[in-house]
Amino acid sequence: MQSLKNSIVGLHKRWSLLNSTANVINRRSYTTQQLTNGNITHTDNLNQCSNDYIRDKSGDLWELVVGVEIHAQTKTKEKLFSNSANIGSVDGLQANSRVSFTDAAFPGTLPILNQSCVEQAIKTGISIGGEINPVSFFDRKHYFYQDLPLGYQITQYTDPIVRGGKMILTLNDGRQHTIRISHIQLEQDSGKSIHDMHPTQSLVDLNRAGIGLMEIVSHADFRSSEQVGLYIKKLQHLLKHVGSSDANMQLGELRCDINISVHKPNTPLGTRVELKNMISPKAIMSSINAEAKRQIQLLEQGLPITRETRGFNQETGETFHMRTKEGEVDYRFFPEPDLPPLVINPTWIETIRESLGEMPEDMKKRIISLYQLSDYEASLLIEDFRIALFFEKSIHHNTQEPRLAKSILPWITRDIFSFINDNNTSFDQINLTIDQFTEFLDLIKTDYLSPRTGKEILSLILKGDKRSPKAITDALGLSQISDDLVLDQLCQSVVLAHPKEVNEYRSGRDRVFKFFVGEIMKKTKGRSSPEKVNTFLRKYLDNK
């Protein structure tokens, strides 16, 4: 909601959201069910839901109604109906170099369904809590275009592979909002048309033609751009988690179509407009805000909304007309006669379900209660489930007594995360074994290594040092001075060497104590335990 407010208020001062007191009421009485039971003109809930409304200058309330269609490329070696390589997002390959006769629709070719694509769709279906249809069908959707070699797209129109499912979003103000998913259908990607490389001709690259897509279609349950942004990010996370798609938007592995309309509460739904070709969740949210604003302005002036497809110009922050729906072709859907019904054995579904393991939400709940983590800490960990698993493993690895979660977390969420971010890498690509990490944790715990030098050691390991943390520490002479006698004598000599500062301290200037600590740290090059230094210094400073 915040971003909607910013963009609307920022661009046009006459727009504002309802004041924040509404939020307080909301948290108490808002329920998701009321919003998403299909009855979207709900005057009864006006107060409860008020921060999902937009108020224009004249004080009128407008409600945003958005549905989202996501196209995610299946993470499979081969295409949906041919055995040519699914190169997904790989750039730099020669155009039309990964194209079979089937992809190019040569006469006599027929589609053969790739089982791995089905498996990925089932995984996705299970992960959103959908029903896997034991029998589903493929249909043909006809239109002529140069990058659609068959003259039709093979898709699932009447009986898709997955029905239902939902995503529960936690909004920034803490409320929960449920998005119902209508279905997931398996279909073919088209080729790419390139219009800007030749002055008079369009070029066609069929490398993408025939790659499997999972089209995940939501109900029109979104009431704000924030919800859409959260939904897309959450879905991306889920697809990566179950491994059914790499879901990178910049690379086109995940694409998003937005259906958006506005209306006044308790009035019929408005005319919907389709938004296409946005390349990031952020751009999608901005485009929704811009389009909502445009539609409300038109309606306020008494002008109609046209059914059309619009794009989004990130530079101007405005949507623009692409094509009208009136000129839309009749797709002439009919059952694909080259493919028998897709019959899925229930035991296969169960095998896949078992292989999927824990879903992110369940994992989050479990690690919160098991290790007393905060919601925020748990969210950070499950962002990549491999990190969460690594965290869990480091608690019990090579030890009788479990390590404390609180002592492990900062190293992961601070040091490891910042290394991953700074180096634009991912957890599975960094050099850190569970042996190294747990040994490292134990060195800290036993004071062999101070937390300060520990940071350096961990950084060295992350950068590729394959030695054990102890070996590195010893080689660099960075182990903490843990011989009490040495430290005791050092403290005594420092106190004796600075009579002036001792007097200042004893006359009540506590700050001088830091001077003595600093001196010890200088002499030990930071390798002394701060608590022990404190104890010994106090002994010589206070007991005279």
130 near another protein, rule: CB under 8 A: no
- Residue matched to tokens 């996370």: 237
Euclidean distance between CA atoms 481 and 498, whole angstroms: 23
340 touches another protein (CB under 8 A): yes
Cross-strand partners of 215: 71, 185
Does 231 contact another protein by CB under 8 A? no
Q: Does 87 bind another protein (CB under 8 A)?
A: no
**Does 324 contact another protein by CB under 8 A?**
no
* Contact flag: residue 94 with another protein (CB under 8 A): no
Total of chain residues touching another protein, rule CB under 8 A? 33
Comparison of 200 and 429: residue with beta carbon closer to another protein: 200
Q: Under the criterion CB under 8 A, does residue 344 sit at the interface with another protein?
A: no
| φ, ψ for residue 244, nearest 5 deg | -90, -20
The least CB distance from residue 357 to another protein, in Å, is 32
How far apart CA 325 and CA 236 sit, in angstroms, is 29
Measuring CA to CA, how many Å separate 89 from each of 251, 332, 407? 5, 31, 40
Residue from the set 144, 301, 302, 343 that interacts with another protein by CB under 8 A: 144
Q: Which residues contact 172 (CB under 8 A, 6 or more apart)?
A: 1, 2, 226
CB nearer to another protein: pick between 199 and 346: 199
Q: Are 257 and 72 spatial neighbours (Cβ–Cβ below 8 Å)?
A: no
265-299 in b/e burial notation, b at 16+ Cβ within 10 A? beeeebbbbbbbebeebebbbbbbbbbbbbbbebb
Spell out, one character per residue from 389 to 428, where the chain touches another protein: x when CB under 8 A holds, - when not: ----------------------------------------
Which residue is it, tokens 């988690």? Answer: 241
Query: Which range of residues in 125-133, 158-166, 307-315, 334-342 is near another protein by CB under 8 A?
Result: 334-342
Region 151-190 residues binding another protein, contact defined as CB under 8 A: 151-152
Q: Residue 463 in 3-state DSSP?
A: coil
Shortest Å distance, C-beta 206 to another protein:
9
Q: How far is CA 284 from CA 180, 228, 318, 480, in A?
A: 19, 8, 11, 52
Is residue 320 near another protein by the rule CB under 8 A?
no
Instruction: Check binding of 210 to another protein (CB under 8 A).
Output: no
> What is the CA angle 310-315-318, rounded to 5?
35
With tokens 């009749």, the residue in question is 330
Residue whose pair of structure tokens reads 């408005």 in the numeric block: 270
Q: Do the bridges between strand 176-188 and strand 166-170 make them parallel or antiparallel, or are there none, so unpaired?
A: antiparallel
> Could you say which of 5, 79, 98, 140 contacts another protein (CB under 8 A)?
140
Stretch that binds another protein, among 129-137, 293-301, 331-339, 472-480 (CB under 8 A): 331-339
**Residue 96 CB, nearest distance to another protein (Å)?**
10
Mark 87-99 as b/e (b = at least 16 C-beta within 10 Å). Answer: ebeeeeeeeeebb
**Residue written as tokens 């909004």?**
171
Among 38, 107, 304, 508, binds another protein (CB under 8 A): 107
Specify the stretch interacting with another protein by CB under 8 A; choose among 41-49, 125-133, 138-146, 376-384.
Answer: 138-146
Whether residue 417 contacts residue 458, with contact meaning beta carbons closer than 8 Å, is answered with no
Q: With binding defined as CB under 8 A, does residue 302 bind another protein?
A: no
In angstroms, give the least distance from the CB of 133 to another protein. 18
Q: Which of 33, 58, 201, 347 binds another protein (CB under 8 A)?
A: 201
Q: What is the 3-state secondary structure (H, E, C) of 153-171?
A: EEECCCCCCEECCEEEEEC
Does residue 38 interact with another protein by CB under 8 A? no
CA atoms within 13 A on the CB side of 211: 29
Does the protein bind another protein through residue 321 (CB under 8 A)? no
Among residues 58 and 345, whose Cβ is nearest to another protein? 345
Residue selected from 42, 55, 142, 467 as contacting another protein according to rule CB under 8 A? 142
Considering only CA atoms, which of 3, 493, 485 is closest in space to residue 285?
3
Residue 338 within binding range of another protein, rule CB under 8 A: yes
Work out whether 104 is an interface residue with another protein (CB under 8 A).
yes
Interaction of residue 146 with another protein, rule CB under 8 A? yes
- For residue 149, the minimal CB distance to another protein (Å) is 6
Pick from 18, 22, 113, 517 the residue near another protein by CB under 8 A: 113
Say which residue the tokens 């086109």 belong to.
252
Q: In 3D, which of 353, 417, 420, 363 has the Cα closest to residue 389?
A: 363
The residues binding another protein (CB under 8 A) are 101, 104-113, 140, 142, 144-146, 149-152, 199-202, 204, 330, 332-334, 337-340
